[in-house]
Amino acid sequence: MSEEPITSSLTIERDERLGKSWRTSSNRRRLGLGVAFVAMFVASLSMVLPFLWMVSTSLKSSKMVFTFPPQWIPDPIDWANYAEIWSVVPLGRGLLNSTIVTVLVVVIGTFSSTMAAFAFAKLDFPHKPLVFNILLASMMIPVVVILVPQFAIYARIGWIDTLLPLIVPGMLGNVMMIFFLRQYMMGLPTELMDAAKIDGAGFLRIYWSIFMPLAKPAVAANVIIVFMATWNDYLGPLIYTHSPKNSTVQLVIASLTAYYEEQTDFPIIMAASAIAVLPVIAIFVALQKHFVNSFAVSGIKG
Amino acid sequence: MGRRSGMTAASLAAVALALVTGCSDASEPATDKPAGEKSEITFMGWGSPQEVEVFETMIAQYEDRFPDVTVEYITVPAPDFNTKLQTMIGSGQTPDVFYLIPDYLMSWVDAGVLANMTDFVADNEMFDESNIWPAALATYSTDGKQTGVGDIYALPKDVGPWALAYNKELLDAAGITPATADDLWTWDEFTAAATAITAGEGTNKVYGTAGYSLESAVWSNGADWLNADLNKVTVTDPAFVEALQWVADLSLVEGVSPSQEEQESLGSTQRFIEGRIGMMGIGPWSQAQLWDEAEFEWDIMPWPVSPATGEEAVWFGGIGFAVSSSSKDTKAAMNLAAFLSVNEDAQRTNMEMGQAVPNLIDMTKNEFLSMDRAPANKAEFVRILEEYGRRPTQTKTFNPEWFSVFNSGLSAVYSGDMTAAEYASSVEAEMQDLLDKGIAEQDAS
Amino acid sequence: MANKNTSASMKTRERLWGLAFITPVVLQFLIFAAVPLTIAIVAAFTDWNIVRGSFEFVGLDNFVGFLNDKKFWTATANTAFMLLPIPFYLVLGVLFALGCHHNTPGNRIFRVLFFLPYVSSIVAVVVLWKWLFNYEYGLVNQVLMSWFGIQGPNWLGDPDWIKTTIVLMIIWKMIGITSIYVHAAMKNIPESFYEAARLDGASPVRMFFSITLPMLTPVLFFLTVVGIIGSLQTFVEVQLFTTDGGRNYSAGTVTYYIWQKAFVSSEMGYASAVAVMFGLAILAVTIFQFRMSKRWVYEGE
Taking residue C215's Cβ as centre, other Cβ atoms within 10 Å add up to: 17
C301 belongs to a structural domain: no
- Domain co-membership, C231 together with C182: yes
Looking at chain C, which residue has its C-alpha nearest residue A137?
C283
CA distance C244 to C257: 9
More confident: C108 or A102: A102
Torsion angle defined by CA atoms of residues B329, B93, A232 and C222, in that order, rounded to the nearest 10 degrees: 170
Q: Residue B166: beta bridge partners? A: B279, B299
Q: B205 Cβ partners below 8 Å, 6+ apart?
A: B198, B199, B276
Band of pLDDT at residue B152, cut at 50, 70 and 90: very high
pLDDT tops 80 at residue B392: yes
Give all chains having 3 or more CB-to-CB distances under 8 Å with chain B.
A, C
B342 belongs to a structural domain: yes
Torsion angle defined by CA atoms of residues A247, C170, A107 and A217, in that order, rounded to the nearest 10 degrees: -160
- Domain co-membership, B272 together with B202: yes
CA distance A290 to A294: 6
- Domain co-membership, B289 together with B379: no
pLDDT tops 60 at residue A183: yes
- Domain co-membership, B212 together with B276: yes
Which pLDDT score, from 0 to 100, does residue B347 have?
A: 86
* Residue C175's CATH number: 1.10.3720.10
Q: How far is CA B270 from CA B255, B277, B290, B333, in A?
A: 19, 9, 10, 36
Q: Which numeric CATH code is attached to A80-298?
A: 1.10.3720.10
Length of chain C measured in residues: 301
- Domain co-membership, B253 together with B184: yes
Question: Which of B12, B89, B113 lies nearest to residue C34, judging by beta carbons?
Answer: B12
- Domain co-membership, C56 together with C98: no
Question: Which of A36, A155, A277 lies nearest to residue C121, judging by beta carbons?
Answer: A277
CA distance B265 to B280: 17
Which pLDDT score, from 0 to 100, does residue B208 have?
A: 94
C147 belongs to a structural domain: yes
pLDDT tops 50 at residue A248: yes
Q: What is the pLDDT of residues A3-30, one digit of tens each?
A: 444 444 555 555 555 555 545 667 777 7
Q: How close C23 comes to chain A (CA, Å)?
A: 8
- Domain co-membership, C150 together with C93: yes
What string of H, E and C letters represents the secondary structure of C100-115?
Answer: HHCCCCCHHHHHHHHH
| Nearest Cα residue to C72 out of C231, C258, C267 | C258
CA distance B195 to B208: 6
What string of H, E and C letters represents the secondary structure of B348-396?
Answer: HHHHHCCCCCCCEHHHHHHHHCCCCCCCCCCHHHHHHHHHHEECCHHHC
- Domain co-membership, C227 together with C285: yes
Q: Residue B265: list chain A partners with CB under 8 A.
A: 264
Final residue in a domain of this structure, among C39, C63, C87: C63
Residue to mutate among B86, B271, B405, with most C CBs inside 10 A, is B86
Torsion angle defined by CA atoms of residues B249, B251, B257 and B259, in that order, rounded to the nearest 10 degrees: 150
Quote the crossing angle between the two packed helices C159-187 and C107-119, to the nearest 10°: 130
Whether A129 has its CB under 8 Å from any CB of chain B: the answer is no
Helix/strand/coil for B279 = strand
B238 belongs to a structural domain: yes
Q: What is the pLDDT of residues C48-105, one digit of tens each?
A: 888 777 888 988 989 998 998 888 999 999 999 999 999 999 999 898 888 878 777 7
- Cβ pair C225, C285 in contact under 8 A: no
pLDDT tops 50 at residue B20: no
List residues in chain C touching B: CB distance below 8 A. 34-36, 38-39, 42-43, 48, 50-55, 134-138, 154, 156-158, 243-244, 247-249, 263-264, 266, 268
CA angle in degrees (0–180, nearest 5) for A182-A187-A192: 105
| Nearest Cα residue to C47 out of C60, C38, C34 | C60
Which pLDDT score, from 0 to 100, does residue A102 have?
A: 94
- Domain co-membership, C132 together with C233: yes
More confident: A19 or A302: A19
Band of pLDDT at residue B192, cut at 50, 70 and 90: very high
Q: B53 Cβ partners below 8 Å, 6+ apart?
A: B353
Radius of gyration of chain A (CA): 28
DSSP chain A: --HHHHHHHHHHHHHHHHHHHHHHHHHHHHHHHHHHHHHHHHHHHHHHHHHHHHHHHHTS-GGGGG-SSPPSS-SS--THHHHHHHHHS-HHHHHHHHHHHHHHHHHHHHHHHHHHHHHHHH---TTHHHHHHHHHHHTTS-HHHHHHHHHHHHHHTT-TTSSHHHHHHHHT--HHHHHHHHHHHHTS-THHHHHHHHTT--HHHIIIIIIHHHTHHHHHHHHHHHHHHHHT--HHHHHH--SGGG--HHHHHHHHHHHHHHHT-HHHHHHHHHHHHHHHHHHHHHHHHHHHHHHHHHT---
* Residue B144's CATH number: 3.40.190.10
| Nearest Cα residue to B389 out of B288, B307, B309, B318 | B318
- Domain co-membership, B286 together with B429: yes
- Domain co-membership, B65 together with B122: yes
B87 belongs to a structural domain: yes
A25 burial type by CB count under 10 A (0-12 exposed, 13-18 middle, 19+ buried): middle
CA distance A9 to A16: 10
Give all chains having 3 or more CB-to-CB distances under 8 Å with chain C.
A, B
- Mean pLDDT taken over chain A: 79
Final residue in a domain of this structure, among B363, B390, B417: B390
Which pLDDT score, from 0 to 100, does residue A263 have?
A: 60
Which residues span the domain enclosing C50?
2-63
pLDDT tops 50 at residue B427: yes
B382 belongs to a structural domain: yes
Which pLDDT score, from 0 to 100, does residue A13 have?
A: 54
Q: pLDDT over 70 for what percent of chain C?
A: 97
- Domain co-membership, C105 together with C245: yes
- Domain co-membership, C176 together with C251: yes
Question: Which of B78, B92, B269 lies nearest to residue A155, judging by beta carbons?
Answer: B92
Using the beta-carbon criterion (under 8 Å), do C156 and B264 form an inter-chain contact?
Answer: yes
- Dihedral-angle region of residue A124 (phi above 0 means left; psi in -120 to 50 means alpha; beta otherwise): beta
Question: Which of B75, B80, B269 lies nearest to residue A244, judging by beta carbons?
Answer: B75
More confident: C6 or B382: B382
Q: pLDDT over 90 for what percent of chain A?
A: 11
Q: Provide φ and ψ at A285, rounded to 5°.
A: -60, -40
- Domain co-membership, C75 together with C57: no
Using the beta-carbon criterion (under 8 Å), do A33 and C98 form an inter-chain contact?
Answer: no
Q: What is the pLDDT of residues C193-247, one digit of tens each?
A: 888 888 888 887 888 888 888 888 888 888 888 889 888 888 888 888 887 888 7
Q: Provide φ and ψ at C193, rounded to 5°.
A: -60, -45
Q: pLDDT over 70 for what percent of chain B?
A: 91
Band of pLDDT at residue A2, cut at 50, 70 and 90: very low
Domain count, chain B: 2
- Cβ pair A234, C236 in contact under 8 A: yes
Taking residue C151's Cβ as centre, other Cβ atoms within 10 Å add up to: 11
Which pLDDT score, from 0 to 100, does residue B254 have?
A: 92
- Domain co-membership, C94 together with C57: no
Using the beta-carbon criterion (under 8 Å), do A264 and B267 form an inter-chain contact?
Answer: yes
Residues A130-157, buried b or exposed e (16+ Cβ, 10 A)? ebbeebeebeebbbbbbbbbbbbbbbbe
B213 belongs to a structural domain: yes
- Mean pLDDT taken over chain C: 85
More confident: A260 or B299: B299
- Cβ pair A248, A170 in contact under 8 A: no
- Domain co-membership, B116 together with B194: no
Helix/strand/coil for C144 = helix
Which pLDDT score, from 0 to 100, does residue B382 have?
A: 92
B23 belongs to a structural domain: no
CA distance B155 to B99: 10
Using the beta-carbon criterion (under 8 Å), do C10 and A284 form an inter-chain contact?
Answer: no
CA distance A195 to B162: 83
Final residue in a domain of this structure, among C63, C78, C99: C63
Full-model pTM: 0.81
Which pLDDT score, from 0 to 100, does residue A16 have?
A: 54
The one-character DSSP state at B429 is: H
- Cβ pair A53, C137 in contact under 8 A: no
Residues A59-94, buried b or exposed e (16+ Cβ, 10 A)? bbebeebbeeeeeeebeeebeebbeebeebbbbebb
Using the beta-carbon criterion (under 8 Å), do A144 and C123 form an inter-chain contact?
Answer: no
Q: Give the mean pLDDT of B172-176.
A: 93
- Domain co-membership, C125 together with C228: yes
Using the beta-carbon criterion (under 8 Å), do C263 and B408 form an inter-chain contact?
Answer: no
- Domain co-membership, B121 together with B88: yes
B26 belongs to a structural domain: no
Which residues span the domain enclosing B407?
163-315+403-444
Looking at chain C, which residue has its C-alpha nearest residue B109?
C52
Looking at chain A, which residue has its C-alpha nearest residue C110?
A44
CA distance A156 to A148: 12
Q: Provide φ and ψ at A247, rounded to 5°.
A: -75, 150
CA distance C222 to C230: 12
CA distance A102 to A233: 10
Domain count, chain C: 2
Q: A159 Cβ partners below 8 Å, 6+ apart?
A: A165, A240
CA distance B386 to B395: 19
| Nearest Cα residue to B100 out of B120, B86, B118, B87 | B86
| Nearest Cα residue to A260 out of A251, A252, A269 | A269
| Nearest Cα residue to B184 out of B281, B278, B301 | B301
Using the beta-carbon criterion (under 8 Å), do B76 and A68 form an inter-chain contact?
Answer: no
Q: Residue A261: list chain B partners with CB under 8 A.
A: 267
Pairing of strands B298-301, B163-167: antiparallel
Band of pLDDT at residue B124, cut at 50, 70 and 90: confident
Which pLDDT score, from 0 to 100, does residue B26 have?
A: 37
Which of residues 4 through 43 in chain B touch A, CB cutoff 8 A?
A: 16, 19-20, 22-23
Which pLDDT score, from 0 to 100, does residue B35 have?
A: 53
CA distance C259 to A143: 11
| Nearest Cα residue to C166 out of C136, C122, C135 | C122
Q: How close C73 comes to chain B (CA, Å)?
A: 16
Element (H, E) at B42: strand B39-45
- Cβ pair B77, A259 in contact under 8 A: yes
Q: What is the pLDDT of residues B29-39, one digit of tens each?
A: 344 445 556 88
C202 belongs to a structural domain: yes
C123 belongs to a structural domain: yes
- Domain co-membership, B145 together with B76: yes
Pairing of strands B151-152, B141-142: antiparallel
- Mean pLDDT taken over chain B: 86
Which pLDDT score, from 0 to 100, does residue B443 have?
A: 85
Pairing of strands B298-301, B320-323: unpaired
Q: How far is CA B368 from CA A4, B291, C169, in A?
A: 116, 16, 51
